[in-house]
Amino acid sequence: MFRNAASQPISALSARTERHLLQAAIAAVGFVPVLAGLDGALLGSAMTGEGAISIALDTEIRTLSGLLLGIGLAYWEAIPRIERHTERVRLLTGLVVLAGLMRLIAVVFPGGATKPALFGLAMELIVAPALCLWQARVARRCGMHL
């Protein structure tokens, strides 16, 4: 890594470039909760392909899908000034990680992991926290402090 005269590391990317890359990443990754949320909200239990499921379960799927859609839209809404939305990104990421931990329990205790469940776990427990840490770095580099 390159260092300046004060022997501090110099980032290879400017703060502005890193900010733009983060914005692009959040825009791309945001399609997952938005599309999955829309799918569940519109199709309900039919999205599972499991056939007839109870009305109560269908209602829960639609309700939780609405929350998922809202989380994705809230991430997207932060994109234009992403460096100023540290608190929002942390809150949303906390919700996503909590959901991921619940998914992990569901995968471990019944003992079954589908490909969609594993994809969800990766998004919830790896991708979302990584984006949150990246957002905090960009905020610091852009001079935004909590």
* DSSP secondary structure, the chain, as one string: --B-TTS-B--SS-HHHHHHHHHHHHHHHTHHHHHHHHHHHHHGGGGGT-----HHHHHHHHHHHHHHHHHHHHHHHTGGGGGG-HHHHHHHHHHHHHHHHHHHHHHHTTT---HHHHHHHHIIIIIHHHHHHHHHHHHHHTT---
Lowest-confidence pick of 2-6, 31-35, 111-115: 2-6
- Rounded to whole angstroms, the Cα distance separating 120 from 33 reads 10
Given a contact cutoff of 8 angstroms between Cβ atoms, the answer to whether 131 and 29 are in contact is: yes
Give the mean model confidence (pLDDT) for residues 82-90.
98
pLDDT at 40 over 60: yes
Give the mean model confidence (pLDDT) for residues 55-73.
95
Instruction: Write down the pLDDT at residue 49.
Output: 77
Instruction: Write down the pLDDT at residue 42.
Output: 94
Instruction: Write down the pLDDT at residue 48.
Output: 79
State pLDDT tens for residues 118-144: 999 999 999 999 999 999 999 999 987
Higher pLDDT, 138 or 51: 138
